[in-house]
Amino acid sequence: MATCPAMSGILNVNNMQSKVSWWQDAIIYELYVDKFAGDFRGLTERLDYFVQLGVNTLHILPHYPSPLVDNGYDISDYRAVDPALGNSDDFKCFTEAAHTKGIRVLIELVLNHVSEKHSWFIDARSSRTSPYRDYFLWSETGTEFQNALNPFVHLKPHNWIYDEQTNEFYFATFYPQQPDLNWRNPKVYQEMVDILDFWVAAGVDAFRLDAAPHLIKAEGELSKGHPETHQILRRFRAHLDVTYDGSIALLGEAQDSLQQTAVYFGEGDECQLLYNFPRASNLLYEVWSNDVPHDEAPLTAIPPLCAWVHFLRNHDSFVLRFLSPEQQERMEQGVDPEGWYAFRGERGLSMRLADIFNGDFEKVQSAHTLLFAQPGALALYYGDEIGMRNDTTIGTPKDTRRYVRGAFDWVEAERQMADPDSLFSFVAKLTRDRTSS
């Protein structure tokens, strides 16, 4: 049992919104623990920063043990904390302190794949008769699922990876070091349900479902958004609703059109929250170009107790494909003519907000003003509220998304916190105005 320092918080968790659908108007702040505060103890000490900024939900990017091939999305142990960030007691003290401040905690749940260093895969590749063999997808020829998406085509030619230990191929949608799980094996589902329960017991209030559409692979299809994937999500949701009285939220990541994304709400029985990727692209283009983007499908009615999550930037690349071809070309040439920050896997730009606007803080303010005018939940990416720029000290990585994952600038943050005319103060006023209305 974690023994945490006494907290003199502003709000007790019991005084948070009493309605069950707390997530519908959440203001989420997305961060890497190490880049923002070093470790969970450091993050706990920094909680007043979020109180002053006015956010009420922290989205913790992958905090698990990992070889860090994919910035933590290659998980080697789902029931532990990366030792560099602390231990399970530190995590529990953090969630307890966050709740005391009136802040909820959202963590990543990577369902599609694990790290090749995960114990399940280590055992699975040790022998074709391993009890964990069927946790993954194997082939003697590597010819199945030829139509499946390969989002990282710039990093691997195809999704089947040859395994010398067992002389077979395993399937990996993303990095070669991230073998996909076999979701048609009921043991995989049960493992993940147990993991959900483990982290709820540690104080977690919500889960972001990474790459949710990719779970089921089917011959002759893109292997994205298969009907069985929705069955899995409904089972997750039903388990959480029954076990925790509907208090735990699922946030789905599905980079698609508005209509194709909305299906992950189900009939109100899948994800309560979904990112609105098309709107993010259009908001940024509108501010950057001083031009109204191409016609965007209007927000349609969604199930009760559900909400879109609107955002400007996040830990991934800025997705261009939701703009028209002409707008894509114009923006690429306008903000990154040399192609330094191009993410070729999905035609995107790995650029922070301040870089997209070339340091024009009036445009950064305008973008935030538009963001806060959107209905539903909102998400901010760490450092955008102080105008952080791309981390160019890391050379030229193959995965350009690393440019937007630099260390938080605390010197600049503290300067802006004390300045009523700063970008930080501007964003903090937007949050206050929104939560008080």
Q: What is the spatial distance between Cα 179 and Cα 134, in angstroms, rounded to a whole number? A: 12
Catalytic residue among 96, 210, 270, 316: 210
Q: Quick one: tokens of 47?
A: 């909680």
- Given a contact cutoff of 8 angstroms between Cβ atoms, the answer to whether 29 and 57 are in contact is yes
What are the C-alpha distances in Å from 290 to residues 183, 281, 388? 46, 14, 22
- Given a contact cutoff of 8 angstroms between Cβ atoms, the answer to whether 189 and 235 are in contact is yes
Q: What is the spatial distance between Cα 144 and Cα 129, in angstroms, rounded to a whole number? A: 21
> Is-catalytic flag, 34?
no
Residue 109 phi/psi, 5-degree rounding, is -130, 105
Tokens 């006023």 — which residue?
429
Catalytic residue among 253, 332, 355, 385: 253
> What is the DSSP code (8-state) at residue 3?
-
**Alpha-carbon torsion angle 96, 99, 104, 106, nearest 10:** 0
| CA proximity to 23, closest of 57, 54, 47, 53 | 57
SS3 320: coil
> Is-catalytic flag, 45?
no
What are the residue numbers of the active site?
210, 253
